[in-house]
Structure 1
Amino acid sequence: MQASFNCGRLRSLPTLQRRLVMAAPAGRNPSLNPSTLNSTMASSCGALVSTGAAVSSGGTAAAAVPATAGPATALADFTVAQFPVNFLTIRGVLFDVDGTLVESDPLHFRAFQEILAEVGFNGGRPIDEVFFRRHISGRHNPEIAADLFPEWDEDRRTAFYLDKEERYRRLAAAGLEPLQGLREFLEWVRQRGLRTAAVTNAPRANAEMMLAALGVESCFEHLVLGEECMRAKPHPDPYLIAMDLLGLTPGELVVFEDSPSGVAAGVAAGAPVIALTTGQDPAVLQQAGAVWIVRNFHDVMAAIKAAETEANSTA
């Protein structure tokens, strides 16, 4: 296990009481259109239409351009002028965990492949990556199990996803590495004194294991779990609760996500969402509402440094 990353004093990760956000503070939009949400979750990777969301690569700063669909979609360079989030004025950052802090989707994919084949799903044939992206990645376990096995009772579904998570943790025990540029970005966040929370649909055991394995548990003031909210992502509740805990409004922070359900949750909470392409095609993430699409945190830091340089030159 890595030594804890130096993000300041170690803060506890509190267990939240189950809460239902009946009404959001002014400026937030917790409503979700079920038909739109279902369309987003089940959509195929259609062509990426440029609507102002940027796609980045290679540590340069970038502009949104049309891109072909599929896992091989190329990420275009972008221009600082179209950088959609002003990091120099925000007060907080909310992070998903799986696929955002660490590229863990390949391990989840493998665990689901194994267990689904064993229980005879799809005739015992392993699911492919397209199926995993469309129907599993980023979603809440009870919802996944209910969709995959509508004929099973709740106890059997629960046993299924608990087994799957145990398999994932065994695979992850071999070692997890932070997403490229994450440590540099977290240090920048620490130096600026920004408020932080980790917001995830992962079970508590998984989330705490990943944060500890990366050595970043002290970088987050709060850990908000979808399973401890009345509604998990893609509903906005986890992000609204995180905002309330930090005392911030959607316009004062930015959300980092990697899945359509996570992006939808952040957008529904009223926050700008930056999406990382660790497990999804850029087209799908843009369709879910991401304002900017990047490969990793190196891209984010490149844009921040360029913005800082510009601000210093005009000061």
Structure 2
Amino acid sequence: MSAAPAVPTPRAVAPSPAAAAASPAAGASTSAPSTAVAACPVDFGSIRGVLFDVDGTLVESDPLHFKAFQEILQEVGYNGGQPIDEAFFRKHISGRHNPEIAADLFPEWPEERRTAFYMDKEERYRRLARAGLEPLEGLREFVAWVERKGLRRAAVTNAPRANAEMMLAALGLETFFEHLVLGEECTRAKPHPDPYTTAMDLLGLQPGETIVFEDSPSGIAAGVAAGAPVVALTTGQDPACLRKAGAVWIVKDFRCVMEALEALEARS
């Protein structure tokens, strides 16, 4: 098994008030508290755009991906037919780009077989997901806040287009986003910054004017490398992994974000 990809070198950008405000104060807690008011390190007043990952960020979909990968890997005899566990999934699969996952899992397979493998896996995932997807807690309220503020927005994902469009439609968000940026359609997928820099360019925004919401180390690395502050949701990873990847704020869900915003607005 190859090691997980290295974190790319961050995009060279001039420091901005938003990025500076996003750095946690010394000694500040970055765990996922029940209320995030006191810990909020992001200057939302200077943000002009919001970039969202999809899987694990808008919806807690990792359990379905884990089930699909576990089933298909067991069927093809990976690891001697022993099912992978959640720790393996989080470390080697979650948030990564399918071609890279397949190359790491099956370095001896020809590319055509790897492609067939992950296309089969994604069809299994869509079959599971069609049974129903629920938005992450607080997402509806945060989406409404973003709309009220007139912020620009894009969905940025390593998921295949069929998956992304299916999830956005299931959540009723297909018209909310101005752009859907896919890692597979960029020069490089996450953990490289390309998907996020592409989204910024499409929206006409600078890194210091945007905030990224992510749930995986790979996605956080991409956002950080693009020069934006990243808020991490603990839907599938240990907070320590998210902190190590560079997240400036770690929360359980969007309810925590809304608590902080409402408290900040009440004070102003």
TM-score (norm 1): 0.77
Separation in 2, partners of 1:206, 1:309? 39
Mapped contact 2:12–2:227 kept (Cα < 8 A) = no
Residue matched to 1:44: none
Tell me the equivalent position of 2:23: none
Q: Which amino acid aligns with 2:14?
A: G
Residue number among 7, 11, 27 corresponding to 2:14 in the alignment: 27
Contact 2:13/2:207 (<8 A) preserved:
no
Cα distance change of structure 1 residues 276 and 292 upon mapping to structure 2, 3 Å threshold: same
Equivalent residue in structure 2 for 1:264, among 195, 213, 221: 221
For residues 1-315 of structure 1, what are the structure 2 equivalents within 5 Å?
Answer: 26-27=13-14, 52=28, 54-58=30-34, 60-61=35-36, 79=38, 82-311=39-268
| Cα distance in structure 2, aligned partners of 1:120 and 1:51 | 47
CA distance in 1, matches of 2:113, 2:225: 32
- For structure 1, list consecutive stretches of 5 or more residues without a partner in the other structure: 1-22, 29-49, 63-78
Give the root-mean-square deviation of aligned CA atoms. Answer: 1.6
Q: How many angstroms apart in 1 are the aligned matches of 2:245 and 2:27? A: 12
Distance between the aligned counterparts of 2:233 and 2:103, measured in 1?
A: 27
Contact 2:154/2:179 (<8 A) preserved: yes
The alignment-based identity, stated in percent, is 74
Matches of 2:29 and 2:55, distance apart in 1: 23
Contact kept in structure 2, 1:234 and 1:262, CA below 8 Å: yes
Query: How far apart in 2 are the matches of 1:224 and 1:154?
Result: 24
On the 8 A contact 2:106/2:114 being kept in 1, the answer is yes
1:25 and 1:286, CA in 2 relative to 1: closer, same or farther beyond 3 A? Answer: closer
Tell me, yes or no, if the aligned pair for 1:92 and 1:195 is still in contact at 8 Å: yes
| Cα distance between partner residues in 1 of 2:116 and 2:138 | 37
After superposition, the Cα gap between the structure-2 partners of 1:194 and 1:90, relative to the gap in structure 1 and judged at 3 Å, is same
Number of residue pairs matched by the alignment: 249
- Displacement of 1:56 in angstroms is 2.9
Q: Provide the C-alpha distance between the structure 2 equivalents of 1:61 and 1:278, rounded to a whole number of angstroms.
A: 16
CA deviations over 1:76-122 (Å, ceiling 9, x no partner): xxx2xx42101122111000000000000000000000000000000
Change (3 A) 1:156 1:199: same
- Note if contact 2:48-2:152 (Cα within 8 Å) is conserved in structure 1: yes
- Cα distance, 1:299–1:215 mapped onto 2, change above 3 Å: same
Question: Aligned partner of 1:54: which letter?
Answer: T
Output the CA distance in 1 between the equivalents of 2:30 and 2:259.
14
Contact 1:53-1:84 at 8 Å conserved across structures: no
Secondary structure in structure 2 of the residue aligned to 1:262: helix
**Which amino acid is 1:86 matched to?**
D
Deviation at 1:26, TM superposition (A): 4.5
Structure 1 contact 116–124 (Cα < 8 Å) conserved: yes
**C-alpha distance in 1, partners of 2:105/2:27?**
34
Cα separation, 2, equivalents of 1:57 and 1:84? 14
Q: Structure 1 CA distance, aligned partners of 2:224 and 2:29?
A: 13
CA contact (8 A) 1:27 1:250 kept: no
